[in-house]
């Protein structure tokens, strides 16, 4: 239960947790249903099908190569999308590996979930990042630290949502547990990893990841930018990242 | 107008829309299916919502939330109409022909679908957004209600779903006992 709740904090806390948990688990049949739906979507809605649906909606020009299209207003082109996706995936993966290595009880993160969490988080972050930028975005290799911090802020913003969604889909998580943001705090665990001298886990994860990242994620830079991104996310998106995470 | 019709002139915002569509279309379809829509219903509703979004793309500040809400309304409208039509067709068939054989025992997937579709629309919508990773506060902002109302809807939805599925299991168990 979030501290921002203006009604239920005291009353719900006053109730014994054990009696509620038993009734609020998702039914196993519903879990199986959710898994089946997911598999169905993955098999039927392939990228080609999605592009075909887009063509149906906007005409062939919308999905033609973007090179000859000009943008006069609105959301800028995002030709460096792939570069940012790779950069985001690399950094988020390092974050999650570092958290998993600490075994933080705030996160209860399993290594098996790291890839899926990273992919989904970066997909969401790319959309919101692109929507906010008013100029064409350079490749991350040539981007300045401020731009990288802005992108990582979006990653931090989406991380808790993706984690909640994934947990609910793959585990038998009670509604009460799911809503209890004090209990599951991935961003708080990341903050712990990146500050107070414990950035060692983050550096170790970066060292271990060594040649995988194609050089996008310089460990020092990631260690520097991570707390900045978390603070920025807390300030900009308090509904997503609670200030308590960095207390 | 160009020989290519309206499509000859691309709105300047379209590249942004294309990226948004590519990322969000599968998620919205997925979200509706998790709330009980068939694949076809979910695709139709999402296409309708995306089409509507395209018209207001330049002014839409929160397209992800907007398109989910619009898709949900489109789904509810169409699904309700389709199911009413099916019921009518089924009744007509009953009146004009011989009584059909007893329907086969629904499998687990169908039972979950029935339970989901029996939820009040608002509970179904809250459940869909919840499963999509939205927090109670975000859902509340999207639907214009209090966060406590969202939590209440969600709690009732999960409890109703569970109760419905458990009742069925008990009935099934009971009938097996009677048969034995």
% of chain A with per-residue pLDDT over 90: 5
pLDDT of B90: 64
CB–CB contact A74 B58 (8 Å): yes
Q: How confident is the model at residue A179 (pLDDT cuts 50, 70, 90)?
A: low
| C-beta neighbour count of B40 within 10 angstroms | 10
| C-beta neighbour count of B118 within 10 angstroms | 13
Average pLDDT of the residues of chain A: 73
pLDDT at A17 over 70: no
Contacts of B18 in chain A (CB under 8 A): 54, 58, 62-63
Together in a domain, A102 and A201? yes
Assess contact for B165 and B172: CB atoms under 8 A.
no
Report yes or no on A196 lying in a domain: yes
* Segment A151-174, tens digit of pLDDT: 999 999 988 888 887 777 665 555
HEC assignment per residue over chain A: CCCCCCCCHHHHHHCCHHHHHHHHCCCHHHHHHHHHHHHHHHHHCCHHHHHHHHHHHHCHHHHCCHHHCCCCCCCCCCCCHHHHHHHHHHHHHHHHHHHHHHCCCCCCCCHHHHHHHHHHHHHHHHHHHHHHCCCCCCCCCCCCHHHHHHHHHHHHHHHHHHHHHHHHHHCCCCHHHHHCCCCCCHHHHHHHHHCCCCHHHHHHHHHHHHHHHCCCCCHHHHHHHHHHHHHHHHHHCCCCCCHHHHC
Together in a domain, B125 and B69? no
CB–CB contact B158 A24 (8 Å): yes
Nearest CA in chain A to B52: A57
pLDDT of A156: 92
Which residues of chain A from 122 to 181 reach within 8 Å of chain B, CB to CB? Answer: 123-124, 126-127, 130-131, 160-162, 164-165, 168-169, 175, 179
pLDDT at A142 over 80: yes
Together in a domain, B37 and B111? no
Report yes or no on A9 lying in a domain: no
Together in a domain, A148 and A29? no
pLDDT of B43: 92
Nearest CA in chain A to B134: A161
pLDDT of A141: 84
Contacts of B23 in chain A (CB under 8 A): 123-124, 126-127
Give the count of domains, chain A: 2
Tell me which of B74, B100, B126 is where a domain ends: B100
Contacts of A38 in chain B (CB under 8 A): 30
Together in a domain, B123 and B90? no
pLDDT of B19: 84
CA distance B133 to chain A (A): 4
Report yes or no on B3 lying in a domain: no
pLDDT of B180: 31
* Segment A61-112, tens digit of pLDDT: 454 444 344 444 444 556 778 888 889 999 999 999 888 888 777 777 777 7
Nearest CA in chain B to A165: B133
CB–CB contact B151 A164 (8 Å): no
> Which of B3, B13, B16 to mutate to test binding with chain A, by most A CBs within 10 Å of its CB?
B16
Report yes or no on B1 lying in a domain: no
pLDDT of A42: 86
CB–CB contact A69 B15 (8 Å): yes
pLDDT of B175: 44
CB–CB contact B43 A53 (8 Å): yes
Whether A7 contacts chain B with CB within 8 A:
yes
Find the CB nearest B30 among A41, A53, A130: A41
CATH code of B168's domain: 1.10.10.10
Which string of DSSP letters, residue by residue, matches B90-154? Answer: HHHHHHHSPPPPPPPPP-HHHHHHHHHHTS-HHHHHHHHHHHTT--HHHHHHHHTS-HHHHHHHH
Tell me which of B41, B76, B100 is where a domain ends: B100
Assess contact for B17 and B54: CB atoms under 8 A.
yes
Together in a domain, A105 and A160? yes
Together in a domain, A87 and A203? yes
DSSP classification of residue B56: T
Assess contact for A149 and A232: CB atoms under 8 A.
yes
Together in a domain, A85 and A148? yes
Report yes or no on A5 lying in a domain: no
Domain that holds residue A87: 74-246
Report yes or no on B81 lying in a domain: yes
Domain that holds residue B66: 11-100
Which residues in chain B land under pLDDT 50? 1-10, 12, 102-105, 174-180
More reliable by pLDDT, A241 or A121: A121
* Cβ-based burial of A11 (10 A; exposed 0-12, middle 13-18, buried ≥19): exposed
More reliable by pLDDT, B100 or A184: A184
Whether A35 contacts chain B with CB within 8 A:
no
Report yes or no on A43 lying in a domain: yes
pLDDT of A181: 46
Q: How far apart are CA A128 and CA B13, in angstroms?
A: 15
Together in a domain, B73 and B113? no
Question: Can you tell me the mean pLDDT for A2-27?
Answer: 42
CA distance A199 to chain B (A): 29
């Amino acid at each position: 239960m979030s501290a921002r709740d203006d009604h239920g904090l005291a009353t719900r806390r006053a109730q014994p947790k054990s009696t509620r948990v038993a009734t609020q688990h998702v039914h196993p049949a519903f879990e199986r249903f959710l898994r089946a739906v997911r598999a169905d979507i993955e098999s039927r809605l392939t990228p080609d099908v999605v592009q075909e649906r887009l063509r149906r909606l906007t005409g062939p020009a919308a999905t033609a190569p973007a090179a000859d299209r000009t943008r006069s207003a609105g959301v800028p082109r995002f030709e460096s999308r792939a570069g940012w996706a790779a950069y985001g995936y690399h950094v988020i993966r390092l974050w999650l590996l570092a958290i998993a290595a600490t075994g933080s009880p705030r996160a209860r993160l399993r290594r098996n979930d790291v890839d899926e969490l990273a992919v989904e988080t970066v997909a969401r972050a790319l959309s919101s990042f692109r929507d906010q930028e008013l100029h064409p975005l350079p490749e991350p290799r040539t981007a300045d630290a401020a731009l990288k911090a802005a992108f990582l802020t979006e990653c931090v913003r989406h991380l808790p949502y993706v984690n909640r969604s994934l947990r609910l889909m793959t585990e038998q998580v009670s509604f009460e547990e799911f809503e209890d943001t004090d209990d599951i705090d991935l961003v708080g665990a990341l903050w712990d990893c990146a500050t107070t001298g414990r950035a060692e886990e983050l550096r170790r994860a970066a060292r271990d990841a060594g040649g995988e990242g194609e050089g996008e994620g310089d460990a020092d830079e990631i260690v520097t930018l991570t707390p900045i991104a978390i603070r920025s996310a807390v300030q900009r998106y308090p509904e997503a990242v609670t200030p308590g995470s960095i207390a | 107008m160009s020989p290519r019709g309206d499509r000859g002139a691309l709105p300047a915002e379209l590249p942004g829309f294309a990226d948004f569509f590519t990322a969000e279309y599968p998620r919205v379809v997925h979200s509706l299916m998790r709330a009980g829509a068939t694949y076809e219903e979910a695709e139709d509703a999402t296409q309708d919502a995306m089409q509507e979004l395209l018209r207001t793309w330049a002014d839409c500040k929160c397209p992800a939330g907007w398109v989910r809400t619009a898709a949900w309304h489109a789904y509810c409208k169409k699904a309700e109409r389709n199911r009413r039509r099916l019921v009518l067709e089924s009744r007509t068939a009953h009146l004009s022909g011989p009584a059909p054989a007893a329907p086969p025992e629904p499998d687990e997937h169908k039972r979950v679908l029935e339970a989901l579709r029996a939820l009040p629309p608002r509970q179904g919508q809250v459940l869909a957004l919840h499963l999509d990773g939205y927090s109670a506060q975000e859902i509340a902002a999207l639907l214009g209600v209090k966060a406590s109302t969202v939590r209440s809807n969600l709690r009732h939805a999960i409890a109703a779903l569970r109760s419905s599925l458990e009742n069925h299991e008990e009935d099934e168990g009971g009938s097996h006992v009677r048969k034995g």
